[in-house]
């Protein structure tokens, strides 16, 4: 057996592999299912038991030797063919294009991260909503103009408001669902897409994105709301950012306020972006109306809370100074590539 292995090894060493055809011939002759090495394994049956171990090692070594020669010659032939074709395998390859996260996704994620640091969890809900969660549970009276077709995309216009289905006009509908299914304390934010029946322009769109927040517990005050929003403004726009609150009206909060942040461009000194006021509007807020708490079976005598809501596009506009809302939904690669470094 040892003589057969040495003889076959000599044949393998002398076999010249200079083409793909010769390489395949080598493989069939020595490593194929009917090759010479396969025959040697069959001959092991005739070797005395005391010699089988040594003989088996010799045959396995021969097979490994033949396989290494085949692999080496295969790589050599491949490199030779590439060189013949003018391919320089030592040159660096083409760079891999890195994708970009959408600016609204970047801002949405940053908002969620900021509020998560102070205990807010994320809640989500359906974009096709019924009247109760979109309007009635949030203290919208039947005659409120937001129920009119000019503001809302109705899916099913029923005989009564309760039977109507519509694309949600705000993510406050998610808050209504959370209050129905959760016991206070509640501390949650609701990011998502909303829809309004409006003409598309640089300043308005038929769909946009909101992040609304809700906090309900015992002894929640307006001071808690103001401190939470100041924390958000300084985390989002810098330590020097200041806020001011102006009286406003929302059906589901009382009292209500609009929140302005000191202009991020002129640092409150006055410029054309802030119309020389030094302030930019960023969100609306207020204390949750007791009627909203009662609609969700939460005792307004025991619990109080605050709510706020902001447009993601508005925050992105201030952060990235993008003044045309249409750019966010036109999928212009030239626009989106500017945010590659934000991944």
Question: What is the model's pLDDT at position 164?
Answer: 80
* pLDDT tens track for 270-316: 777 778 888 988 999 999 999 999 999 999 999 999 999 999 998 98
For residue 277 the two structure tokens come to 């006021």
CB 236 within 8 A of CB 315: yes
* pLDDT tens track for 322-337: 878 888 888 888 888 8
Mean pLDDT, residues 39-46 taken together: 77
Please report, for the chain, the start and end positions of each structural domain, with discontinuous segments joined by +. Answer: 2-84, 103-342
Q: Is the pLDDT of residue 108 over 90?
A: yes
Question: What is the model's pLDDT at position 117?
Answer: 95
Question: What is the model's pLDDT at position 85?
Answer: 61
Question: Which residues lie below 8 Å from residue 258, measured CB to CB, with a gap of 6+?
Answer: 245, 246, 248, 281, 283, 284, 285
Is 103-342 in CATH node 3.30.2020.30? no
Q: How many CB atoms lie within 10 A of CB 80?
A: 11
* pLDDT tens track for 98-107: 777 889 999 9
Question: What is the model's pLDDT at position 6?
Answer: 82
For residue 109 the two structure tokens come to 């994620």
State how far the Cα of 157 lies from the Cα of 131, in Å rounded to an integer: 10
Question: Which residues lie below 8 Å from residue 173, measured CB to CB, with a gap of 6+?
Answer: 125, 129, 133, 134, 138
Q: Is the pLDDT of residue 252 over 80?
A: yes
CB 315 within 8 A of CB 74: no
User: Which has the minimum average pLDDT: 68-72, 209-213, 216-220, 282-286?
Assistant: 68-72
pLDDT bin (cut points 50, 70, 90) of residue 60 is confident
State how far the Cα of 199 lies from the Cα of 305, in Å rounded to an integer: 35
Q: Is the pLDDT of residue 162 over 70?
A: no
Question: What is the model's pLDDT at position 87?
Answer: 60
Task: Specify burial of residue 165 (Cβ count, 10 A radius: 0-12, 13-18, 19+).
Answer: middle
State how far the Cα of 46 lies from the Cα of 301, in Å rounded to an integer: 97
CB 125 within 8 A of CB 190: yes
> Which of the pair, 165 or 286, is modelled with greater confidence?
286
CB 193 within 8 A of CB 205: no
Q: Is the pLDDT of residue 204 over 90?
A: no
| Preceding omega of 255 cis (within 30 degrees of 0) | yes
> Which of the pair, 339 or 265, is modelled with greater confidence?
339
pLDDT bin (cut points 50, 70, 90) of residue 343 is very low
- Please tell me whether the overall predicted TM-score, pTM, comes out greater than 0.85 for this model: no
């Amino acid at each position: 057996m040892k003589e057969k292995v040495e003889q076959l090894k000599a044949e393998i060493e002398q076999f010249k592999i200079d083409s793909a055809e010769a390489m395949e011939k080598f493989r069939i002759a020595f490593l194929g299912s009917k090759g010479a090495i396969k025959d040697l394994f069959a001959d092991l049956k005739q070797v005395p038991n005391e010699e089988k171990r040594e003989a088996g090692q010799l045959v396995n070594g021969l097979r490994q030797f033949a396989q290494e020669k085949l692999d080496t010659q295969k790589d050599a032939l491949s490199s030779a063919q590439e060189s013949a074709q003018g391919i320089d395998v030592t040159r660096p390859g083409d760079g891999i294009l890195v994708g970009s996260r959408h600016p609204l996704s970047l801002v949405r994620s940053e908002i969620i991260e900021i509020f998560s640091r102070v205990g807010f969890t994320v809640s989500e809900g359906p974009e096709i909503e019924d009247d109760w969660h979109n309007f009635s549970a949030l203290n919208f009276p039947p005659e409120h103009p937001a129920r009119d077709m000019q503001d809302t995309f109705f899916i099913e216009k029923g005989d009564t408001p309760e039977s109507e289905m519509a694309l949600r006009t705000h993510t406050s509908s998610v808050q209504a669902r959370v209050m129905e299914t959760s016991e206070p304390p509640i501390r949650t934010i609701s990011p998502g897409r909303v829809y309004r029946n409006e003409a598309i322009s640089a300043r308005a769109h038929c769909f946009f994105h909101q992040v609304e927040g809700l906090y309900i517990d015992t002894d929640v005050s307006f001071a808690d709301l103001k401190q939470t929003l100041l924390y958000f403004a300084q985390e989002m726009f810098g330590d020097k950012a200041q806020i001011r609150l102006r009286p406003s009206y929302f059906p589901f909060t009382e009292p209500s306020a609009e929140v302005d942040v000191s202009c991020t461009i002129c640092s409150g000194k006055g410029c054309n972006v802030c119309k020389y006021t030094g302030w930019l509007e960023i969100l609306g807020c207020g204390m949750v109306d007791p009627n909203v708490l009662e609609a969700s079976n939460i005792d307004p005598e025991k619990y109080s809370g605050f709510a706020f809501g902001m447009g993601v596009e508005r925050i992105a506009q201030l952060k990235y100074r993008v003044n045309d809302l249409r750019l966010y939904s036109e999928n212009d690669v030239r626009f989106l590539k500017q945010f590659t470094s934000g991944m």
